[in-house]
Amino acid sequence: MNRTERLYAIAEELRAAGPAGRTGSWLAERLEVSTRTIKRDVEALLQAGLPLWAQAGPGGGYVLDAATLPPLNITGAEAAAIAVALAALPALPFAVDGRSALSKVLAAMPAAERDRAEAIAARLWLRIPEAAPRPAVAKVLDEAVRRQQVVALRYVGGSGEITERAVEPVALAATKGHWYLLAWCRLREGPRWFRTSRITSAHLTAEPAPAHDAATLFGTPPDDARPVTLR
C-alpha cells in the first residue's frame, strides 16, 4: 500500500484497538513496514490533527481518541480486496452477507474512491475453476452456526447408509476441497464431522444449542489450519 493508504490503515487499526492501543512493533508487523516508518507515519498523523497520544511504559504504544474521529474511511484498494475475496471463493459460508456488506461499503465511499476501487478491481483477473455449487442445505447450516441452534439432518454416510439425526452445531470447516459441519451428534452421542455435500436435507429447529468448545471436542487444528480472525 502507498503512504496515504498506510496512514488510513494505522488510524483504523488504532480505532479498532480502543483504549488498549497498539505498539509500534505490532503496527509495523501488521503493515509490513519498519518501526521507524510507523514512527514517521504517527508523527504525520499528529501533524494532521489526529487525536493520537503515546502510552508510556512496558507494552505501551499509541492510543487514539476514537470518540472525536470522523466516520470510518475505506480506501479503493481495501474495497477491491474484499471484492476479489468474494469473487475467488463464491461458495464461502455467509457469502450472501459478504456481498451485502460490500454493497454497503461501496455506497458509503466517496465517489472518487469508489471509482478508484472499480479501476483497481478491473486490473485483477481471476480464473476460477468450475466448482459444484454449494448444496441447498448450506444456508440452513450457515444459520445454525450463526444462531447456535439445533439442526435436524438427513445424512448419507460413506457406506451409503441414510440416517436422520439432531445435531448441535459447533463450526464450519474447509479441508481437502470439501466443507464440513462440525457438530455434537445426539444420535451417536459424540462429536462428528458431517460433509455438507452428503447432507440431503436440513431443518433449523427453534431449540438453542448448548455451547461447545471446538478445541475440546475436535482437538487443536494442524499448523496449516486456523479459525478465521477479524483482526
pLDDT at 230: 59
User: What is the predicted pLDDT for the residue at 164?
Assistant: 96
The rounded Cα 63 to chain-centroid distance in angstroms is: 24
Alpha helices, DSSP H, located in the chain: 3-17, 24-31, 35-47, 76-88, 95-108, 111-122, 138-147, 214-218
Distance CA 6, CA 136 (A): 41
Count the neighbouring beta carbons within 10 Å of the beta carbon of residue 224.
Answer: 6
Neighbouring-strand partners of residue 63: 53
End-to-end CA distance of the chain: 18
Q: Residue 161: its pLDDT value, please?
A: 93
pTM over 0.75: no
pLDDT of residue 66: 63
- CA torsion sign for 27, 105, 1, 111 is negative
Check if the beta carbon of residue 181 is closer than 8 Å to that of residue 196: yes
pLDDT tens, per residue, the chain with 231 residues: 678 878 888 888 888 788 888 898 899 988 888 989 999 999 998 888 888 888 766 556 888 876 665 566 788 888 888 888 887 776 778 877 888 888 888 887 888 888 988 888 888 877 766 555 566 788 899 889 988 999 999 999 988 999 999 999 999 888 887 889 999 999 999 999 999 989 999 999 999 999 999 889 988 777 777 766 655
